[in-house]
Each structure stands twice: as structure tokens, then as C-alpha cells.
């Protein structure tokens, strides 16, 4: 049931992913999806059939000029994010932007600055940070149940979707970079990355990247849309426990391994020994809530309560910095590039 005090929402870009945002924003509490804008008539018609009564338009200005719309979600191809988000902020609207926030650091900085100057919410769609499994790992880390993180590696592989406007790095790695920053809770020092483009000129289909953190931790990220396996997996090695998260598993996504290696001294010889611990494996149960609905509801709640989102514009900027440094490293044959 909606009320006059609900936040009025508009979505721009209702394509492959945007239709999911349309569906989920229409299910949020405390908001009403009023308008969907898309250049494609077919995508406008699909949005209209998903949400009966929603207005559809091909003109973005219709959203900007509508006083009933308090917030706009941007879900076009990444190259259009900056201009649309900037215009929305300048029109006084709160803004949600799909990942990656922008394609350039200066553009992301501008959005963060504009949101701050105008007292508006800016949130980026780092979806995995709303995944109950990733949240569970983070909570166990904060509670100290897993020990201190040493390193993690993340794999996001599949055959497709092959995009022409962004590489596998820009399309897939924002998820993994945001997870690594969230779980390690440390600042990255530098990144080295190697990428290869096989299908189209200069659009990498596969990228191997290595992030080194100030706290001594490391994150290895492998992204590809040219791979026979569908893999969405992370492995986190801490000093007392090890954890895997497999998002392709329907239920048992997380496994906690009570395994580790410890240094001790053999007092007979005073030699240093490494003893290995092979303990139990634990599979926690997780709530089955759709992460995208949690993400959309979080945006609505943050706007209504004037709260900083868990995936703020600043975090979007941090990820764009790493994406750009990774791209620079690929151009320099894998040379480590400092992350600003």
C-alpha cells in the first residue's frame, strides 16, 4: 500500500539489468516507482508491462522536470552514467547509479562532490555487498571468528555476456573489487593487471589482476567472459579459518574450514616447526532474500532517513580508482600502479 509521503522514483535505462531494477524498485516499501525512461520503445513497453500504471518516456528531461520524482536510478551503459547522474543531482534528485559509478576518476569525484554540496544521497550498485553470504562473512570477520585475513582470490568467469561497450574488467571486476575492499577492510596500495583481447580490438575478454594492500593482504581477481565454466567463487584465507563462497551453489554457498598452519618451536632442537591443522568443515545456513531487493530498499531507506548508504558514492569512487589503475597497469604490461 503506497502513501502520499512515499518517495517518488524514476529509473533511466530499462535494458537487460535495468528491468530487474524496475521490478525491484516497484516492490520497495516507502517508495513508488513513477516513471521509467529508455531510448528503446521495446524496453519501455516491457517496463510498462512489468509495473502496471508506471509512466514511460524516451525523454530523460521528463524525469528531471517531474517534481513528484525525488530520486532517480541510472542503469544505462556505463559511459552514460556520469552525465545522467550529474544532471539528476543538479536537478535536486537523489541518485542511485549502477556499477561502475563512472569510467573516469574525475567524473566520479565530481558526482561525490555534487551530492555533498547539494545534500543529496548518492549510492552505487555494488550488489554483492547486499548478498547475505558476503554479509555473513564480513560479520564473522568483524566478530573475530575467522582470525586475521591473509589473502583472498575471486573468480568471475562464464561464456558471455560479451559486451562491446566495456571490457570484462569494467563489467565484472567492480563486484570483486568491492567485495575485496569490504572484507579486507584495508586500503589497497597498488595493482598489477594483465588483460587479453581476443574477440574485439582493445576490449579485454580476460583479465588477471593482483591487488596489494597496506596491511600486507593480497587479493587476486580473475574475470572473463570467454571461459567454458560458470564460476562465481571466492576463497578467503585467514590465520585461523579459511572460507569459500560459491554463488553458483543454490543453497550451500559458504563453507568454513577449520584449517590452518601454525608456527611453533621444537624445544628439543629449538628448530621452528610449522604444524598443520585439518579440522571440521562448517556450512552455515543463509537467508534466501534477493540481494537486489535489499539493495533497492537500502537506497530508499537511506534517502528517507538521510543516511549514508553502505555503498556510498565515495565507495563507488574508490572502486573506479582501482579499475582505472588496473587499466593503466594493463597498458604498461602489468607494471604495478599505485592506487591513489
6 vs 204, beta carbon nearer ligand NAD:
204
92-151 binders of ligand NAD (CB under 6 A): 98-99, 125, 127
- 7 touches 300 (CB < 8 A): yes
- 76 counts as binding ligand NAD under rule CB under 6 A: yes
Spell 231-258 as b/e; 16+ CB within 10 A means b: bbbbbbbbeebbbbbbbeeeeebbbbbe
Please report whether residue 38 would count as binding ligand NAD according to CB under 6 A: yes
Q: Which residue is nearest to ligand NAD (CB)?
A: 15
Residue 35 interacts with ligand NAD (CB under 6 A)? no
**How many residues of this chain bind ligand NAD (CB under 6 A)?**
23
Interatomic CA distance for residues 86 and 73, integer angstroms: 12
Residue of 13, 149, 309, 313 interacting with ligand NAD (CB under 6 A) = 13
- Other CB atoms within a 10 A radius of the CB of residue 291 amount to 18
Task: Check binding of 89 to ligand NAD (CB under 6 A).
Answer: no
72 binds ligand NAD (CB under 6 A): no
CA distance linking residue 45 with residue 38, whole number of Å: 10
| Pairing assessment for the beta strands 337-338 and 218-224 based on DSSP bridges | unpaired
Strands laid side by side in the 188-196 sheet: 271-282, 254-266, 242-246, 226-238, 149-159, 218-224, 206-213, 188-196, 337-338
String marking each residue 306-335 x if it binds ligand NAD according to CB under 6 A: ------------------------------
User: Binding to ligand NAD (CB under 6 A): which residues in 154-193?
Assistant: 171
Q: What angle do CA 169, 172, 174 make, to 5 degrees?
A: 85
Q: Which stretch binds ligand NAD (CB under 6 A): 70-78, 221-229, 259-267, 268-276?
A: 70-78
Binding site for ligand NAD (CB under 6 A): 12-18, 37-40, 43, 60, 75-78, 80, 98-99, 125, 127, 171
Amino acid at each position: 500500500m503506497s502513501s502520499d509521503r512515499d518517495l517518488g522514483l524514476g529509473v533511466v535505462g530499462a535494458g537487460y539489468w535495468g528491468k530487474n531494477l524496475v521490478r525491484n524498485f516497484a516492490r520497495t516499501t516507502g517508495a513508488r516507482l513513477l516513471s521509467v525512461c529508455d531510448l528503446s520503445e521495446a524496453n519501455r513497453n516491457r517496463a510498462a508491462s512489468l509495473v502496471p500504471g508506471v509512466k514511460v518516456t524516451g525523454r530523460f528531461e521528463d524525469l528531471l522536470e517531474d517534481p513528484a520524482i525525488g530520486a532517480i536510478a541510472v542503469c544505462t551503459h556505463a559511459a552514460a552514467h556520469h552525465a545522467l547522474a550529474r544532471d539528476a543531482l543538479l536537478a535536486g534528485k537523489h541518485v542511485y547509479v549502477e556499477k561502475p559509478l563512472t569510467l573516469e576518476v574525475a567524473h566520479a569525484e565530481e558526482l561525490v562532490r555534487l551530492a555533498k554540496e547539494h545534500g543529496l544521497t548518492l549510492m552505487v550498485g555494488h550488489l554483492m555487498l547486499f548478498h547475505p553470504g558476503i554479509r555473513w562473512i564480513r560479520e564473522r570477520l568483524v566478530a573475530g571468528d575467522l582470525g586475521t585475513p591473509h589473502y583472498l582470490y575471486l573468480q568471475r568467469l562464464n561464456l558471455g555476456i560479451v559486451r562491446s561497450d566495456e571490457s570484462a574488467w569494467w563489467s565484472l571486476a567492480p563486484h570483486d573489487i568491492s567485495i575485496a575492499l569490504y572484507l579486507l577492510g584495508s586500503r589497497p596500495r597498488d595493482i598489477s593487471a594483465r588483460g587479453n583481447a581476443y574477440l574485439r580490438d582493445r576490449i579485454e575478454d580476460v583479465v588477471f589482476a593482483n591487488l596489494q594492500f597496506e596491511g600486507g593482504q593480497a587479493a587476486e581477481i580473475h574475470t572473463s567472459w570467454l571461459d567454458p565454466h560458470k564460476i562465481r567463487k571466492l576463497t578467503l584465507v585467514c590465520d585461523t579459518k579459511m572460507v569459500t563462497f560459491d554463488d553458483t551453489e543454490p543453497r550451500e554457498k559458504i563453507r568454513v574450514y577449520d584449517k590452518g598452519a601454525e608456527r611453533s618451536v621444537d624445544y628439543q632442537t629449538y628448530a621452528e616447526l610449522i604444524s598443520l591443522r585439518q579440522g571440521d568443515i562448517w556450512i552455515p545456513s543463509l537467508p534466501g532474500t534477493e540481494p537486489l531487493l535489499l539493495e533497492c530498499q537500502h537506497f530508499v531507506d537511506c534517502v528517507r532517513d538521510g543516511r549514508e548508504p553502505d555503498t556510498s558514492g565515495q565507495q563507488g569512487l574508490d572502486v573506479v580508482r582501482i579499475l582505472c589503475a588496473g587499466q593503466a597497469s594493463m597498458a604498461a604490461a602489468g607494471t604495478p600502479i599505485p592506487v591513489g
